[in-house]
Chains A and B, each alone.
Chain A
Amino acid sequence: MSKRYILLAVVFIGSAFGLVVLPDKHDTKQIPAEKFLIEIYNPARFLSTHQIAKRLIERDPSIFLVDVRTPSEFEEYSIPGAFNIPLEHILDEEWVDYLSQDGVDVVLYSNGNIYADQAWMLIAQQGIKNLYIMKGGVNQWFSTIIQPVEPPETASSEAFDLYAFEKAASIYFGGSFANIESATTTPIKKTVVVRKKKKKAAEGGC
């Protein structure tokens, strides 16, 4: 028998035994903190209420709203189409498929920003992509979409365009303009909501 075959056998058994004695490595899918810090700093993780209202009106199927408030708050008012996952259950096994859908932007919201942000932190650090926060939460939603406030005379034309959109959205979502027909006679300019392009991870060459 050739020495080389013996060498081969020794290498196989040796390396297989090496696997056995390797120290345990707690393998988490956690994004390393240094890397995650940059994601935290990226403002693209927030979506404005306008962006979300526009996509809801257009019936964009690629948006999925998640309400992280308590079920009772959810009962009282929720954004149409939202799905309720209370913050303390956000990591439960059954919601994993809901929160990580390919090609669907999952948007978290609460009354303010904080709970949604905490939910985002908990999920996003496990490497789940396409996760956003509705900036300002339901409070902001009410002050912009449901009860929009007319900008002052001196405001820029963009502000008025936005206001026109808000009024239209308000009608759509049953807000304060819902039964004032005369208010809608002004032609509604379409506000173009610019979606930030998601950064894709560098694709590997070979």
Chain B
Amino acid sequence: MGPLTYFGEISTEWNYVIAIFIGMAFGYIMEASGFSSSRKLIGVFYGYDFAVIRVFITATLVAIIGLLYMGYFGWIDYSVLFVHPTFIFSATIGGIIMGFGFIIGGFCPGTSLCALAIGKLDGWVFTIALFIGIFIYSLVFPLIKPYYNMGDMGHITISEYLNMSNAWFTFWFAIIAVAIFYVTSVIRKKVKEVRY
């Protein structure tokens, strides 16, 4: 049962069908915006290309504004949305590790599959290594289990944590996002252009 209520309930089977189409569109857009190039992806860390951060913040903004509007119009049952539990310390540690992996490897998991699909060798290597990593992780999981659930905050959203209404949070987030766009464009102008 998807949260989309406009057509009545969507059954699980249709959910998967729709998911496939959304996945295709997602992959296409990622590849079309050049996210299969690890140089472009890495640019955000060296300051010559901020496409990644812009794309993700834009995506977040579109999603959050769209969701709230659709919820208001009665297209989406907002209360059905699943909020992942937040493990604040685990997430921080995991984020740092992932960030290093991103810089070293040049891909994040989704984009590596994108690169694999267009036949990039580094994409292949990254994806194979990804599965080796998953395998190793599952083997050592008992050892790192205590660090897995650190800082449990439950199913909480930022606006709940800040005791803000969703609308106001979105508004401030939009302003911050625009500020980030501006700052990144300023940084990009200062950094020597890299051809890639």
Residues of A within 8 A of B (CB): 1, 5, 8-9, 12-13, 15-17, 19-20, 22, 25, 27, 201-206
Contacts and interface: CB of A to CB of B under 8 A. Distances in A.
Interface stretch (B25-33, B88-96, B121-129, B164-172): B164-172
Interface in B146-196: 165-168, 170-171, 173-175, 177-178, 181, 185
Given A1-B185, A12-B61, A203 B10 contact: yes
A27 B9 CA distance: 18
B174 A20 contact: no
A8 B177 CA distance: 11
Contacts of B68: 19
B181 A203 contact: no
Given A13-B175, A20-B167, A201 B9 contact: yes
13 contacts: A9-B178, A12-B177, A16-B170, A16-B173, A17-B171, A19-B68, A19-B72, A20-B167, A202-B7, A203-B10, A204-B7, A204-B9, A204-B14
A15 B167 CA distance: 10
B69 interface: yes
A16 B18 contact: no
Contacts of A15: 65, 69, 174
Contact of B69 (A5, A19, A20, A202): A19
A205 B69 CA distance: 22
Contact of B10 (A16, A19, A22, A204): A204
Contacts of A17: 171, 174
Interface in B69-88: 69, 72, 74
Nearest to B6: A204
B8 interface: yes
Nearest to B61: A12
A22 B65 CA distance: 13
Q: Nearest 8 A-B pairs (CB), nearest first?
A: A204-B7, A16-B174, A19-B167, A201-B8, A9-B178, A16-B171, A20-B167, A16-B170
A205 to B, nearest CB: 8
Given A15-B69, A203-B14, A205-B14, 6 more contacts: A9-B178, A13-B178, A16-B167, A19-B171, A202-B8, A204-B4
Contacts of A8: 58
A203 B8 contact: yes
A12 B72 CA distance: 17
B140 interface: no
A15 B165 CA distance: 16
